[in-house]
């Protein structure tokens, strides 16, 4: 697929103006200095930590949006396949920063829950919103079956890697707090993490080099998107069909195309992929884009530290539990970039890119971020393992199973999107009341 030409870079002032006016969400940037000031001036207590958490939570939302904006500017210069990888990678920057800070503070449960929650958010909320938003304009949207099957395999492997330590724990003869079992689980986790990192490296080679054409929009196994048929056209087709019934059967083979031929022709002619590519106009220069990425990353890192520090005080108040905060709230903030990017391009009939962002982000978290954090904890001397909360592991397994069923035909519609979003709401309601199983981490604490 030929890449769209990129126009000339704007001036520095035009780029700064684009950053300021990119979205009304930028109004929430005022929460950054407020959250910093509250963190340094207020003493840590249940009530004060709740206030700090709210402002830090709101402050990360516009930062995630700016991160998505800068990522899009870089993406238009590198091509669609690399653009999807770049969006997924930088879109996960918030989750990675939050996980590293929580790991350094030995908040192991928050690290695990936030990463599992990020996968759930991408697979159900982000992907569901993409299917639903695209379904408002298109009757059906298509994407690559081969790539979908590969993604399903990778997600399944990652879920198995999370389930095996839990199965090891429950089937072992040792007691829950036996230090020998804890040592074995850590050893298993470290070995599996290294293997997962190797799989992710192989996946990058497959995606970017050996099978790069599989990810092109014009690949033969991608179903063509079909738009809704206007009411006037439906009436004309109905009258035409009624008129064809009055024609003698003997003339049918010579004058009237068969239904299957007509349908096939309509799909080929109605395909929206024959449009001439227009020039893309960047809103920032490359140096300004890189500078914005660096500044936003620093602001996210500092604000995320205040956010993590305030979680304990927030959950100690008893109004909300730690599992809901780390599994639902934190991933929604961290995935704000993916939400905006993926939904926007799905409406433009670029569902392949949307899936590259949403599903690709989940694969990256499962095969790279989680094993990387486990390996980093190994280096830092933190007992972070792949022994996740059993209920979270089961929910993750069922989520991957549902997404595999929804995507296996290579087509999507608005109802499938609504199903995925509804399942996410069901999970959110469940975890609002779920207290967590703290006993499992008793032997794997700092």
Answer yes or no: are the C-beta atoms of 323 and 113 closer than 8 Å. Answer: yes
pLDDT digits (tens, 9 = 90+) for 178-196: 555 678 888 889 999 999 9
> Looking at the 3D structure of the chain, how many domains does it have?
1
Residue 5 maps to a domain? no
pLDDT digits (tens, 9 = 90+) for 229-242: 765 565 566 566 56
> Could you give the CA distance from residue 48 to residue 221 in angstroms, rounded to a whole number?
55
pLDDT at 222: 65
Q: 52 by DSSP, 3-state: which?
A: helix
Answer yes or no: are the C-beta atoms of 244 and 259 closer than 8 Å. Answer: no
Query: For the chain, what percent of residues have pLDDT higher than 70?
Result: 74
pLDDT digits (tens, 9 = 90+) for 384-415: 888 888 888 899 999 999 998 888 887 888 89
**Mean pLDDT over each residue of the chain, to the nearest integer:** 78
> Could you give the CA distance from residue 279 to residue 260 in angstroms, rounded to a whole number?
38
Residue 266 maps to a domain? no
Separation in Å, CA 180 to CA 100, 106, 172, 235, 438? 27, 21, 11, 74, 19
Residue 250 maps to a domain? no
Question: Does residue 256 register a pLDDT over 60?
Answer: no
pLDDT at 95: 81
pLDDT at 244: 60
Q: Is the dihedral of CA 234, 235, 239, 242 positive or negative?
A: positive
pLDDT digits (tens, 9 = 90+) for 21-56: 887 888 888 999 998 998 888 777 777 888 888 898
Choose the weakest-confidence range: 315-319, 361-365, 402-406. Answer: 315-319
Q: How confident is the model at residue 215 (pLDDT cuts 50, 70, 90)?
A: low
Cα angle value 264/152/336 (rounded, 5°): 95
pLDDT at 192: 92
**Cβ-based neighbours of 333, under 8 Å, separated by 6 or more:** 57, 60, 61, 64, 94
Q: How far is CA 408 from the centre of its chain?
A: 18
Residue 137 maps to a domain? yes
Q: How confident is the model at residue 379 (pLDDT cuts 50, 70, 90)?
A: very high
Residue 231 maps to a domain? no
Question: Does residue 249 register a pLDDT over 60?
Answer: no
Q: Which domain holds residue 100?
A: 12-225+271-444
Q: How confident is the model at residue 262 (pLDDT cuts 50, 70, 90)?
A: very low
pLDDT at 1: 40
Residue 264 maps to a domain? no
Residue 29 maps to a domain? yes
Q: Which residue has the higher pLDDT, 346 or 416?
A: 416
- In terms of Cα–Cα distance, which of 287, 276, 281, 278 is closest to 7? 281
What is the CATH number for 391?
1.20.1420.30
Laid out side by side, the sheet with 411-412 consists of 226-227, 138-142, 411-412
Mean pLDDT of 92-102: 83
Residue 145 maps to a domain? yes
Q: Which residue has the higher pLDDT, 227 or 103?
A: 103
pLDDT at 345: 77
């Amino acid at each position: 697929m030929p890449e769209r030409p990129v126009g000339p870079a704007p001036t520095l002032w035009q780029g700064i103006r684009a950053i300021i006016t990119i979205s009304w969400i930028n109004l929430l940037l005022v929460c950054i200095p407020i959250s910093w000031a509250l963190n340094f001036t207020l003493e840590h207590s249940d009530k004060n930590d709740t206030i700090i958490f709210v402002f830090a939570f709101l402050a990360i939302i516009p930062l995630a949006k700016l991160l998505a904006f800068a990522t899009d500017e870089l993406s238009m210069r590198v091509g669609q396949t690399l653009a999807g990888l770049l969006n997924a990678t930088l879109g996960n920057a918030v989750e990675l920063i939050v996980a590293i800070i929580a790991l350094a503070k030995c908040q192991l449960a928050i690290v695990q829950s936030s990463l599992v929650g990020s996968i759930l958010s991408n697979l159900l909320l982000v992907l569901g919103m993409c299917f639903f938003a695209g379904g408002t304009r298109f009757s059906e949207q298509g994407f690559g079956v081969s790539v979908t099957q590969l993604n399903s395999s990778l997600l399944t492997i990652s879920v198995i890697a999370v389930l095996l330590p839990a199965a090891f724990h429950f089937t072992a003869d040792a007691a829950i707090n036996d230090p020998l079992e804890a040592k074995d689980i850590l050893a298993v986790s470290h070995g599996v993490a290294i293997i997962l990192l190797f799989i992710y490296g192989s996946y990058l080679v497959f995606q970017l080099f050996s099978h790069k054409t599989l990810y092109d929009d014009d690949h033969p196994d991608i179903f063509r998107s079909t738009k809704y048929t206007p009411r006037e056209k439906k009436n004309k087709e109905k009258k035409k069909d009624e008129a064809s019934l009055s024609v003698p059967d003997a003339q049918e083979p010579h004058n009237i195309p068969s239904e299957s031929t007509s349908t096939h022709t309509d799909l080929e002619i109605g395909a929206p992929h024959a449009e001439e590519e227009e020039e893309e106009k960047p809103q920032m220069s490359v140096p300004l884009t890189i500078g914005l990425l660096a500044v936003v990353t620093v602001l996210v890192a500092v604000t995320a530290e205040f956010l993590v520090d305030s979680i304990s005080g927030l959950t100690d108040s008893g109004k909300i539990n730690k599992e809901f905060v780390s599994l639902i709230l934190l991933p929604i903030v961290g995935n704000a970039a993916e939400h905006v990017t993926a939904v926007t391009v799905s409406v433009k009939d670029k569902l392949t890119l949307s899936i590259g962002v949403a599903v690709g982000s989940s694969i990256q978290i499962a095969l790279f971020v989680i094993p990387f954090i486990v390996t980093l904890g190994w280096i830092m001397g933190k007992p972070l393992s792949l022994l996740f909360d059993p209920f979270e592991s089961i929910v993750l397994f069922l989520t991957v199973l549902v997404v595999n069923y929804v995507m296996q035909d290579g087509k999507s519609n608005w109802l499938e999107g609504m199903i995925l979003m509804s399942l996410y709401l069901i999970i959110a309601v469940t975890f609002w009341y779920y207290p967590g199983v703290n006993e499992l981490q008793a032997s794997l604490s700092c």
